[in-house]
Amino acid sequence: MTSHPSVGRAVLNVLSNWGGQAISLSLAFFVTPFVVGVLGDSAYGVWMLVASIAGYLSLLDLGVRGAVTRYVAKFAARRDDEAASRTLSSSIQIFGVMGAFATLVSLGLALVAVSGFEIPEADRHTARIVLVLVGMNVGVSLVTGAYAGVVAALQRLDLLNVADVATGVVRTGATVVALLAGQGLVAMAAIQFVASVGRGIWLMVLSRRLYPALRVEIRTVSREHIRLIFTFSSLVFLIHVSGTLIYFTDALVIATFLPIDLLTFFSIGSSLVMYARMLTSSVSYTTSPMASSFDGAGEHEQVTRLLLMSARYSMMILLPVALTFLIRGSSFIGLWMGPSYAGPSGQVLTILALPLLFHAGAHAVGGIMIGVGKHRPMVPAMLIEAGTNLALSIALLPTMGIVGVAWGTTIPSIVSSIFFWPWYARWALGIAVASYIKTIWIRPWLAALPFALGTYVVERLWPATTLTVFFAQVGVCLLLALAADWWLCVSGAERQVLVAGARRRFRRVPIVAPSTTTRPSE
């Protein structure tokens, strides 16, 4: 078992994350129109509402999984297997209690809260059953999340992604079969639960093979390690609360004050932004345990370099997606979901895509700070953003509808990105604000200008009539982004490393097939 981070491992983890997400996004891309078409706007709105409630139930993680990743990575770096085992055992005990509580809470919400939403009477009984099943699913995911934390701590995100992709493929296939057979939301929720159980068993076996010295023994659970976990996780929990309020409250606000079918229109746009954010979460999910290992080894300069590099590359990846949403979002939704969704969902997408222009820096800083245990200032900042988000969404909803809810999310996010995160990085790691702005924002923005111009010209002069044409156009414009990134964002030293690596790989590939007339002696 290797615990010290390496560039090769980091690159593999990031690429595997992106590969896994590409498969997941492809599944969602092809299945979402089918699911919405079969269920209808109202039933799909119920599904998205329950999904947002599940997001709140997942807060019962209490930040413990993040603590498992941090401390197992730290103890593994020190070869302290006993401390790592005690940490895992303590976390499983905590998750067992929280998992049972999640199931009970979902049962209570099913009995009491469903009638408070604008759900048609005919769908309320189904919504209650689905909510209980989703609560059970969250409970299973909490317990098995401890093992996912171990795999992440050992920086084997490639294997974690294999488990997630396999689970997603099985879940999606089963969902399609169930809907074709005339089933509905209850079958979808049951499939989610069974898939989570299978994934959990897989992760248990995987963590055991990766770290054979790791033991789960309830008798080794100690107050000391539970206290250690909560010392770290309490702040992570508050960060998760803030994030959940920011990203899941919109659905509750819409379902409370507007007809449930409008949640479908909002969710189509917001889900695309969520998928885009996953691109940067893949990087921060990789860099957080790396930062923990660097911090544990006393290599603090490496932490600073890791932050700036990961944020810069994240922005290079994210900007073409954000600009495509801003310039061609409505066109894409019209081709993907149908013309009736292009207007309202396209407006939501355009507004929610604006914070993506700044998002990579904030996400990179957050992941690194959690990794090195300097995340306390994130709590009040994110809570203020979440509270402002909720207040603005409710205030703007009566006059602007779902567009007002989108603005209520966007405005606080942009303000936080500009006025908090650069100064936070300066306070925690000594990164100059000017260096932050130049490295993470200015250079990637300048490099993205050719892509933005090309995308605008294509949208005006050559509007796509099919998704195939749309993606082909995006691919052509991406060539402009790649060329500009190479010269403006990638440093000379990085270009040399990348070129040398490409040459080494090229030399390994035979240009001419070896002769079959002579065979080496064996």
Do residues 203 and 96 share a domain?
A: yes
Residue 190 lies in a domain: yes
Classify residue 518: in a domain, yes or no.
Answer: no
pLDDT digits (tens, 9 = 90+) for 103-140: 999 999 888 878 888 788 888 889 999 999 999 999 99
The yes-or-no verdict on residue 4 having pLDDT over 60 is no
Q: Is residue 32 part of a domain?
A: yes
- Residues 324 and 195 occupy one common structural domain: no
Q: How far apart are the first and last CA of the chain?
A: 33
Top pLDDT among 4 and 475 is at 475
CA distance 353 to 350: 5
Residues 173 and 286 reside in one and the same domain? no
Q: Which range (177-181, 204-208, 480-484) has the least confidence?
A: 204-208
Q: What is the pLDDT of residue 263?
A: 92
Most confident of 156-165, 197-206, 270-279, 368-377: 197-206
Q: How many domains does the chain have?
A: 2
- pLDDT score, position 3: 45
Looking at the structure, tell me whether residues 224 and 264 fall in a common domain. Answer: no
The predicted structure's pLDDT at residue 400: 94
Task: Name the average pLDDT for the chain.
Answer: 85
Tell me: the pLDDT tens digits for 378-433?
Answer: 889 999 999 999 999 999 999 999 999 999 999 999 999 999 999 998 988 888 99
What pLDDT, on a 0 to 100 scale, did the predictor assign at position 311? 87
Share of the chain above pLDDT 90, in %: 41
Residue 8 has pLDDT above 60, yes or no: no
- For residues 289 and 202, membership in a common domain is answered with no
Q: What is the mean pLDDT of residues 85-114?
A: 88
Question: In which band, very low, low, confident or very high, does the pLDDT at 221 lie, cut at 50, 70 and 90?
Answer: confident
pLDDT in tens, 26-82: 888 889 999 999 999 889 999 988 888 888 888 888 878 878 887 888 788 788 888
Task: Give yes or no for a contact between 271 and 434, defined as CB atoms under 8 angstroms apart.
Answer: no
Residue 253 covered by a domain = no
Same domain, 335 and 452: yes
Last residue of a domain, one of 188, 211, 231: 231
DSSP string, 323-367: HHHHHHHHHHHHHHH-HHHHHHHHHHHHHHHTTHHHHHHHHHHHH
**Other CB atoms closer than 10 Å to residue 322's CB: what's the count?**
23
Q: What does the H/E/C string look like for 409-468?
A: HHHHHHHHHHHCHHHHHHHHHCCCHHHHHHHHHHHHHHHHHHHHHHHHHHHHHCCCCCHH
Range of the domain at 181: 1-231
Residues 41 and 96 placed together within one structural domain of the fold: yes
Write out pLDDT tens, residues 143-185: 888 898 888 888 787 788 888 889 999 999 999 999 999 999 9
